[in-house]
Amino acid sequence: MTNAAETIQSDIDSNDVVLFMKGTSSMPQCGFSSRVAGVLNYMGVTYKDVNVLADEEIRQGIKDFSDWPTIPQLYVKGEFVGGCDIITEMTLSGELDQLFTSKGVSFDKDAADKIREANG
């Protein structure tokens, strides 16, 4: 039996992109998780979704792990990126594209541009 921090670290180490969220990528259980999953899905990013509602230890553990109080939380190549507001801002500013490019994470640039056009 591993503890929550070990499980979280393992998920982050073994996946380029990890989204700790309420629900799953196909069935989000909160609006903020839905928004971030929606951005990643639309941009064609391959990621692991971790449903914090399925495990209370992970739900609290990820907050302690990142020292960040809210969920969802996005990790890219082992680095904590942020929650819903930060991911939304980064998507609209193009910073998320730059992060994915610099980390070698493939995504659909046209889809990212469409998000910005729709919200510009």
Binding site members for [2Fe-2S] cluster: 30
Binding residues: 30
Determine whether 17 is exposed, middle or buried from the number of CB atoms within 10 Å of its CB (0-12, 13-18, 19+).
buried
Contact 82, 73 (CB under 8 A): yes
Degrees (nearest 5) of the Cα angle 94, 100, 102?
100
